[in-house]
Amino acid sequence: MPFEVAVDPELLQLALTHRSWAYEHGGAPHNERLEFLGDSILGQAVTVKLYREYPELSEGELAKRRAALVSTVALAEVARGLGIGASLRLGRGEELTGGRDKDSILADAVEAVIGAAFLSTDPETADRFVLDLVAPLLADPERFTVTLDPKTSLQKEAARRGQPHPPYETTGSGPDHDRRYTSRVALDGVTGVGEGTSKKVAELAAARDAVEQLRARRKKRA
């Protein structure tokens, strides 16, 4: 059974409120402050967990593993597992453009929920909550190799098939102060799609999506 936390209903609603909804409702409060808090709590819990469980790893390797566990792609995966997308309060624009399944929005909401859990309980409970959320990520044997360098992983997949490095098609949208990017990369019949606040983040997410699809297809054929 997943570890359950009693989160204050008002804080939970705030954690699931995107700024696009707040903008359309007279500048109502949104989840960015909770996201800021949750990001810190998440980082600390994961850092301590890795430090204690992997005494043989260097500082650099620990940092890479932490990055893999707290990345936008990883947190979006957590959000989908929790069904967070269906509960988000989004503005009309985000609703129409698939905001309920955007990696960046989902990842931010997870961090905000962590912040809400911290404020509703205590540090020890919030820490346990975080570790329960990331447990499936830690249990994935390919998590770190794919997440840490998904572009290289995709290049290796291409090389296995005797194909050149696949090109990325990346587009940006939104105002300069809130630019969002979407990237697509195709290889051997699958198309990876990724989103982020920079071209680099979007391309990394697209590469990881493509690699995971290719590996899942290979497992089915095995």
Q: At CA 138, angle to CA 132 and CA 144, rounded to 5?
A: 150
Q: Which residue is catalytic, options 35, 39, 103, 157?
A: 39
Look-up of token digits 């359950």 = 4
CA distances from 181 to 39, 44, 111, 148 (A): 22, 29, 21, 20
Q: How is residue 83 annotated by DSSP?
A: T
Neighbour-count burial of 150, counting CB atoms closer than 10 A to its CB (0-12 exposed, 13-18 middle, 19+ buried): buried
Verify whether residue 111 is a known catalytic residue.
yes
Let me know: does 170 contact 164? Beta carbons within 8 Å.
Answer: no
Neighbour-count burial of 100, counting CB atoms closer than 10 A to its CB (0-12 exposed, 13-18 middle, 19+ buried): middle
Q: Which residue is catalytic, options 111, 127, 203, 209?
A: 111
Verify whether residue 122 is a known catalytic residue.
no
| 3-class state of residue 169 by DSSP | strand
Q: How is residue 194 annotated by DSSP?
A: E
Q: Which residue, 152, 141, 164, 135, is CA-closest to 210?
A: 152
Tell how far CA 4 is from the center of its chain: 21
Catalytic center residues: 39, 111
